[in-house]
Structure formats: structure tokens, C-alpha cells
Structure 1
Amino acid sequence: MKALVPTGDPAEPVVLADVPEPTPRAGEVLVKVEAFSVNRGETFRLEMPVPGERPGKDVAGLVVQPAADGSGPAGITRVVGHPMAGGWAEFVAVPTDALAVLPDSVSAVRGAALPLAGITALRLLRAAGPLPGRRVLLTGASGGVGHYVTELAAAAGAEVTAVTRDAERGARLLELGAAEVVHDPADARGPYDVVLESTGGAALPVALARLARRGTLIWFGQASRTPAKLDFFDFFSGPESAVIRHFHYLDPRSGFGDDLATLVRLTAQGRLHPEIGRVADWAHTATTLTDLRDRRIRGKAVLTLP
């Protein structure tokens, strides 16, 4: 079968190659991939690829071989899945607890845009606790996770201030429910009960300073790729006794299936709107990856297979 494999070349991070078709384990189905999405974090891993590792975590397609242990959907079922590797290919083996059935009302393109960013958003907001009436500051809001967080948090009753440097992207975040959009964390008017911080670097201490006393900052990314520096004594001038929490979406012990089903249901009901900035044939994956890395794509990028 054909699959995209890493090259280690930043200008062309992946190329199509012939690889063996995967052999599913007992609790896995074989999916014929119709569409997959790429994530900015994956572009960073491609800079120093692990030999033999094949990327790809977000897929939508058709089950062509059910799981041998009887779990999961039957054959010829449309699904969205979150395998931990190998999804940028014609076929991929996906654990049955990392799948959800995709109804006809949700296209493969929209389905493929859901897994990593959507699961991250759901679990991030659960970590933040009850949201009705709370003020939330979200940095890095124009990425795939940011759009989902904005819409989900606003629907849950939070007053969301979204940070994005792009005015056009800010307008879309307002449509999704943000109460306010600012172009720099320094422009945000606190205090906020919750800060969701994804950029690191100089932005983190600035965002922290907008946190309310005993508030919570959840640090879930470092898109700037620059370490943050914090001064203990700065807490006394604002967010005294605040909590800084590290977050990783893989931390929960449960599988991805239930969260994927929730994301699919909300999308089918018109309550969640995947923000897709580019759809292209998978022959253009390398260019799409470099554009995503360099922030030339708003929201999600989805590649389709013939």
C-alpha cells in the first residue's frame, strides 16, 4: 500500500512510499482511509523523525476488516478514529476503543478534523471544572484546539476572551461564541477565573498576570517553542495562591471512543463546527505540513485520498 513516510527534510517533510499493509491485532479494525488531518505538533516531530515511525493520528474512513475479538463496528461501517500512528496511509489499524461511528450527515473531511484537537478541547475543559458564569482567557485561539475550546466553552456558559493575532480569525472566533477577541495577552482585561495557555514563552507570564486570585492556569502547549520564565514574587501582585497545572490529553485512563462519539454527535447536531482552513489531495501533504508549521492555515488542515 501507499503511505506517507518522514524524510527529515524540513522543506519536504514526507513523501509517498510503498509499505506493508498493517495486520490488525485482535482488538483492532482495519480502516480504509478516506481523509486524515494533520496537526502542528506533528510537524515538530517530523523535524527529527524516529526511524521506522509513521505519522498519522486523525483519520476517517471505512472499516474493511472488523476486529477479530468481536469488539467495535462491523465491516463496511463509516468511522472516525484516533490511532497513535500510521494514519497517513491507504489503510490503518485502529483500536476499537479509539473509534466512533460516523453518520452519513458528517462527511469524512469533517470527521477527520475531530480527533486530536476535539479530544484535547473536551478534556481540557473538563480539567478546567464547571464553566457557567466563569471568565476564561484562551491563548493561541486560532488553532484547531482553540476553535473547539471557544465554541464548547461558550456553549457551556463561560465568558471567553480569545487571543489571536489575526483579525479575520478573530472574527470567526466571535461567531463561535467568544465574548471578546484580543491580539495580545497584554490587551486582555482580567481578572480571569481560568487561563488556558498554549503558547508558552513570553505569553505565559503575561497571561498568568491576568488570572484572578486563587484562579487556575492550565498549560497545554508551547506553540512558540520558547521556554517560559516565571517569577515567584509576581504572584503576590495579582494571582496570589493561583494554581498552574500541566495538561496532556493522553493523561485520562479511558480510551478515545466515548469522546469521539461525543464530538461526532455534537457535529451532527450542528452544535460543533470543525474549522477547516484547507482541504487538499494527500499528494499535497508535504506543502500542507510546511504551511501549517508556518501558521499559514487557520484551524484544521485535512487531506483526502482518492
Structure 2
Amino acid sequence: MQRLIPTGNPARPVAFTEAAQPVPAPDEALIRVEAFAPNRGETFLLERPRPGLLPGKDVAGLVVQAAADGSGPHVGTRVVGHPPQGGWAEYAAVPTHSLAALPDGMGAVQAAALPLAGITALRLLRAAGSVTGRRVLLTGASGGVGHYVTELAAAAGAEVTVVTATPSRGERLSELGAAAVVHEVAEARGPFDVVLESTGGAQLPIALSKSAPGGTLIWFGQAGRTPVTLDFFDLLAGPEGATIHHFHYAGAPYGPDLTTLVRLVDEGRLHPEIGRVADWARTADTLVDLRERRIRGKAVLTTGTHVAQGAEGAQGPQTAQVAVSTPETAGTAR
């Protein structure tokens, strides 16, 4: 089968190689991958890949071999999954506790956009507690997590202010329920009961200063890749009694949260924002664009079953759906 592996070259982070089909553990199902979605954090790992890294955590496809222990979906079930790694391939072994079945009306592209970003959004809002009637500030809002958090928090009754780099990146967030869109953290009109901070660097102290007395800042990322420095004396002049929580989404099982996300999408209550859909022959280019923030929301790559010589060195897929345009991708990468 074909698999994408790291190259160590930031300009072309992955290349195709021929690999053996994975052998599932007893509690794993074998999935024929139809679509996968890279995450920006994965692009950072690919800059200096550790030995043996097989990227890919967000996949959707078809169960072709059920788990030997009898758990999970049966053969022929369409699923979305969140494996530990190895999803950028024609086949992936996924623990059954991290799979969810898809309804007939949901395609693989839409489903593949759900796992990491959607699970992060769900768990982040659980960590924040009830947001009904509360003022929420969200930084770095134009990525996949930001779109999900905005829609879910607004639907729960929060007044959400989002921070995006440009006006165009904020348009969709307004449609999803954001009460205000600003382009610098300093422009946000506090105080806020909850601050959800994902950029780090100089932005976190400014975001913290927007907290209400006794407010909470949940730090769930450092997309700016710059360490944070906090000044004790600045805090004395800022929000009294503010609390800072570190947050990381990870921790299996993921199946229950995936099931929730699928249900919300199926009911029309959650709308994945997909800024690019392309054949996986364009994975390397897409990873660079994702890393450089040229894609709004999620990027999804689709696989093919026939193999031909590809443009990324070694073999690539024969099917070439270059930059598929759908209603979900209107506005596309900026």
C-alpha cells in the first residue's frame, strides 16, 4: 500500500513510499482510509521528525477488517477515527475505542475534519464549565478548533469575542455566532469571564489582562511558537484572583466524543469549516500552507486506490482531484 512518511525537509515535509499493510492489534479495526485531515501541530513535528514517526491522527473511511476481540464496528461500516499515528496511508489500524460510525448522509471529507479539532473544542469547553451567559474571549480563532469552539460556545449561550489575523478570517466566525471579531488581542473589550488562549508569546499576558476579577484563562496552545513571559507586577495591576489552567486535549478513549461530534453535525448543529479539499498527492503543499496559516479552518486530503507516479518522489495516487471546490470550501485559503 501507499503511505506518506516524513522527509525532514520543511519545504516538502512528506513523500510517498510503499509500505506493508498494517496488522491490527486485537482491539483495532483495519480502516481503508478515504480522507484524512492534517493538523497544524503535526506540521511542527515534521520539521524535525523523530525516528519512526508515521503521521496522521484524523481519518475517515471504511472498516475492512473488524477487531479480533469483537469490539467496535463490523466490516462495511463507514467510520471516523482518531488513531495515535499512521493515518496518512491507504489503510490504518485504529483502536475501536477511538472510532465512531457515520450516518448515511455524512461524507468522509466532512467526517475527517472532526477528530482532533472537534475533540479539543468539546473538552476545552468542558474544562471551562458552563459558559451560558458568560463572556468568552478566544484567541487564534480562525483554525479548526476556533471554528468549533465559537459555534459550540455561542450555541450554549456565551457571548464570544474572537481574535483573528484578518477581517476575511473573521467573516465565517460571525456567521457561526461570534458576537465580536477583533484582529488584535488588545482590541478586545473586556472584562471576560473565560479566556481561551492558543497563541502564546506576548499575546497571553495581554489576553490575561482582559480577564474579569476571579476569571479563568485556559491555555491550550502556543501557535505563535514564542515562549510566554509573565510579569508578577503586571498581574498585580491586572485581574484580581485570575486563574491560569494548562490544557491538553489528549486522552483515549475518543469514540464517545467522536460520536457526539458526528451527532451534532448530522443534526445541523455543528458545521465543519473546511478551507481546502485536495487529492493526497498535494499533501506536501497543503502541509506548508497549513503551517504558514494560508488555510482557514481545516484542510482535508482524499486518497485513491489506484497508484501512479506522483510528484512528491516515489509513488503517488492516480486520482487527481486538485482543489475540489464545494460549498464548504467557499472562501478557501487566505
TM-score (norm 1): 0.98
Distance 1:228 1:50 in 2: 25
Match of 1:228 in 2: 228
1:292 corresponds, among 264, 268, 290, to 290
Runs of 4 or more, structure 1, over 2 Å off, are none
Match of 2:170 in 1: 170
SS of 1:44's equivalent? helix
Match of 1:267 in 2: 265
Distance 2:232 2:193 in 1: 19
Distance 1:238 1:230 in 2: 12
Match of 1:279 in 2: 277
RMSD: 0.7
SS of 1:214's equivalent? strand
SS of 1:38's equivalent? coil
Q: Which amino acid aligns with 1:139?
A: T
Residue 186 of structure 2 corresponds to residue 186 of structure 1? yes
TM-score (norm 2): 0.90
Post-superposition shift, 1:127? 0.1
Q: Which amino acid aligns with 2:222?
A: Q
SS of 1:262's equivalent? helix
Match of 2:332 in 1: none
Post-superposition shift, 1:285? 0.1
1:2-34 CA-to-partner distances (Å, cap 9, x unmatched) read 000000001100000011110000100000000
Match of 2:68 in 1: 68
Q: How does 1:239-258 map to 2 (within 5 A)?
A: 239-250=239-250, 252=251, 254-258=252-256
Post-superposition shift, 1:238? 2.4
Q: Which amino acid aligns with 2:220?
A: F
Match of 2:300 in 1: 302
1:44-101 CA-to-partner distances (Å, cap 9, x unmatched) read 0000111222100000000000000000000010000000100000000000000000
Post-superposition shift, 1:232? 1.4
Q: Which amino acid aligns with 2:58?
A: D
Q: Identity over aligned residues, as a percent? A: 71
SS of 2:37's equivalent? strand
SS of 2:123's equivalent? helix
Distance 2:234 2:174 in 1: 32
Q: Which amino acid aligns with 1:10?
A: P
